[in-house]
Amino acid sequence: MRPTRIPYEVRTMIWKYRQRGLKVTEVTDLLNEAGLHYSYHSIQKFLRRLSKRQSLQDSKRKGRPNDWPDDVYRKILKFVDEQMHQDNEKTGSGMSELIKEMFNITNVNERKVKLMRQKLGWAYFDPNFKKLHLWAGISWNGATELCIFDGKEPFTDALFVRVIREVLKPFQTGKYGGRRLTLFYPSNASHDAMHIEEKLIDIGAIDSIVFPVQSTDLNPMTMIWDELQEHLLKDTKVATSAQLLASVEQFWTTTVTTDLCRESVNRLSLTIPKVVEINGVSTAK
């Protein structure tokens, strides 16, 4: 494979050959004889740039000051990527200040930060980023369908019951042949547990157990949501609503396997004895 970029030393040789009046084909042959295999077209392209720029030096790269050595530039890129993984809403000005402080440099601004983030695959955070409500369930035989709602709308009792009727009920029939299920869900000030219980009776074959909203150890879904959060923060580069939606859906279809569901459910066998041992007293500090 021919190299695509002509180094400075070879550019100098080409320029000297041309100064002697050699044709491009002759220059190509001489370079090939010297073991420098560049195509006629790449040399011709370089000569056109040389005629236009009147310089053998590389053109300035956007977002990369000439006085940033390669090793420093690579370190800054790595630093920017790490910072974006921690907080992809970080502003360009904020990132600029961090770079100045970390690397003791002054020639960095928002535009250069933007170009570096684009090079790394990060887009600027969308100011109209859309919040989402998520609902899903897991069981020993796998996960339910993931339900995604507009985060601007409240997740009401009526919506909760609708999800049970339209998502959980078909899941119960498909995965468990209609056998009776028990629904574990956290209590919430916005939900009327008695009202929901009445609706579940109407739907049929679904019992419920409500636990305190802060009792995350008693909620098998906690592990799944933690995995999703980790996925969004570290494994993906999410900056727009569309990217968020795609990333969440990709996580649910590829990561939430039956094995992961069973691992999460099995945690209850470890936590429930501890809860009984301390008589349900909160251990939060």
Q: What is the pLDDT of residues 147-183, one digit of tens each?
A: 888 777 777 777 778 888 888 888 888 888 878 777 7
Q: Is the pTM of this model over 0.85?
A: no
pLDDT tens digits for range 11-24: 888 888 888 888 88
Between 32 and 197, where is the model more confident? 32
pLDDT tens digits for range 40-91: 878 888 888 888 877 776 665 554 444 677 788 888 888 888 887 777 566 7
- 109's CB contacts (< 8 A; 6+ apart) are 96
216: DSSP letter:
G
pLDDT category at 29 given cuts 50, 70, 90 is confident
Between 81 and 131, where is the model more confident? 81
- 60's CB contacts (< 8 A; 6+ apart) are 66
Tokens encoding 24: 């491009």
Listed residue (259, 260, 257, 248) closest to 223, CA to CA: 260
Contact between residue 177 and residue 151 where contact means Cβ atoms under 8 Å apart: no
Residues of the chain above pLDDT 70, percent: 72
pLDDT tens digits for range 230-246: 787 765 566 677 778 88
Return the CATH number of the domain spanning residue range 132-277.
Answer: 3.30.420.10
Mean pLDDT of 102-123: 78
Q: Please state, in angstroms and rounded to a whole number, the distance separating the CA atoms of residues 237 and 86.
A: 11
Domain residue extents for the chain: 8-53, 70-120, 132-277
C-alpha dihedral (267, 273, 274, 275), degrees to nearest 10: 100
Q: Please state, in angstroms and rounded to a whole number, the distance separating the CA atoms of residues 79 and 23.
A: 47
